[in-house]
Structure 1
Amino acid sequence: MSTEPTILPFGGKSPRIAEDAFIAPGARIIGDVEIGPGASIWYNCVLRAEGPGIRVGAGSNIQDGTVVHITRRNEGTIIGENCVIGHMAMVHGCILKDHSFVGLGSIVMDEAVIETDAMLAAGGMLTPGKIIPEGEVWGGRPAAFMSKLSDERREKNRRSPLEYAQLAQLHAEIVGDAGAASAN
């Protein structure tokens, strides 16, 4: 098993990765991608930007098997700080504001927005241009309003990036220097 993630330029633009970001083996980071301090990109994720860029804010975590891509019709994909994107999600040409949460197996489509402290439930599909307002939980296919985010759930969602940052440190020790990418 290779302990190296794949980090490739595209169209003259190379990924820029904070020194303390965790990039797991098997991850693919291609083109105009910027990954902030303390972020974690887990096993077998693909972040690919051939046009407008992908920005991943500090402390955000993108879990195993997730695909993040862009659409040439907008400004790229923006993932704010301390966001959580669950396993096997598809995030495409959209905006996730700080502290937003995307559940396992969810799809966030072109020009959709998940506002601060908002949540797309596991398996949800946020269709193009839809907005999940701050403090709301949406779910289903297509996603629709389910409830207000409880204070308890909001706190749990805000703790999750910190827990993943600690877990990333343990994984970085296992994979060695290949797990902590150098800034490009």
Structure 2
Amino acid sequence: MSEVDLRAAAYVHPSAHIYGRVKAHEGSSIWINAAIRAEAAHVEIGRFTNIQDFVMIHTDPGRPVVIGDYCSITHHATIHGSTIGNNVLVGINATIYGGSHIGDNSIVGQHAYVKDGTIVPPNSIVVGAPAKVIRMANNWVANRMNALFYHRNALAYAAGDHRAWEGPEFERWMAETLAELTEAFHALEATP
């Protein structure tokens, strides 16, 4: 029985293949030829998270895929039975496998292979195959900005506009959004 709930998504491309128990939260987007199969456990896609072109998400028995808020799962990435925290960017062609957990505000580099059961702490930059943490850095601003780019694009695509990332209005939006995020990040850091 399929329990796909995409009502809160900002945009789901018609070529996306989504099966099983899948829930997409407010402002999320699922792009061209993404494949989500949830036969054995559920898939949950957080608020303002984007699942980009050709991403593969799959579950295992007892291992759902839970992706947090403001994440970017970029082109050709694979997420298999794992948990992704909030404000995470998973790079192009990265694979996150079986029971892994990626902490908040992290970046998983392109082509990284995160092997079974890997626990990545928050604020990590992870690269390689097998993947290793090479540096600690809070990527909250950059990762959230990327997610908001995709949210803006999702709204544009839903309206039939495929050129949302150009022109003076976009440049103004980008500068204002980056300033707001930077201010919000500094306020978060100052909170005990």
TM-score where L is the length of structure 2: 0.80
- CA distance in structure 1 between the aligned counterparts of 2:40 and 2:5, rounded to whole angstroms: 15
Counterpart for residue 158 of structure 1: 144
Task: Tell me if structure 1 keeps the 8 A contact 2:5–2:24.
Answer: yes
- CA distance in structure 1 between the aligned counterparts of 2:9 and 2:106, rounded to whole angstroms: 27
Counterpart for residue 45 of structure 1: 34
Q: Does 1:56 align with 2:38?
A: no
Counterpart for residue 126 of structure 1: 114
Deviations 1:44-89, CA, capped at 9 Å, x for gaps = 00011012100001110011000000011x2411011111111000
1:138 to 104, 123, 126: 126
Letter in 2 for 1:110: G
Query: Which protein has the bigger helix share?
Result: 2
Deviations 1:17-50, CA, capped at 9 Å, x for gaps = 1344310121011110111110000000001101
- CA distance in structure 2 between the aligned counterparts of 1:107 and 1:139, rounded to whole angstroms: 11
Which structure has the bigger radius of gyration?
2
**Percent identity between the aligned chains?**
27
- How many positions carry a matched residue from both structures? 161
Unaligned runs of 5+ in 1: 1-11, 176-184
Q: Does 1:112 align with 2:100?
A: yes
Write out the 4+ residue segments of structure 1 that deviate beyond 6 Å after TM superposition.
none
Counterpart for residue 173 of structure 1: 159
Unaligned runs of 5+ in 2: 162-192
- CA distance in structure 2 between the aligned counterparts of 1:100 and 1:19, rounded to whole angstroms: 20
Alignment of 1:22-101 (within 5 A): 22-72=11-61, 74-101=62-89
Task: Tell me if structure 2 keeps the 8 A contact 1:106–1:124.
Answer: yes
Letter in 1 for 2:13: A
SS at match of 2:159: helix
- CA distance in structure 2 between the aligned counterparts of 1:104 and 1:75, rounded to whole angstroms: 23
Q: CA RMSD in A?
A: 1.4
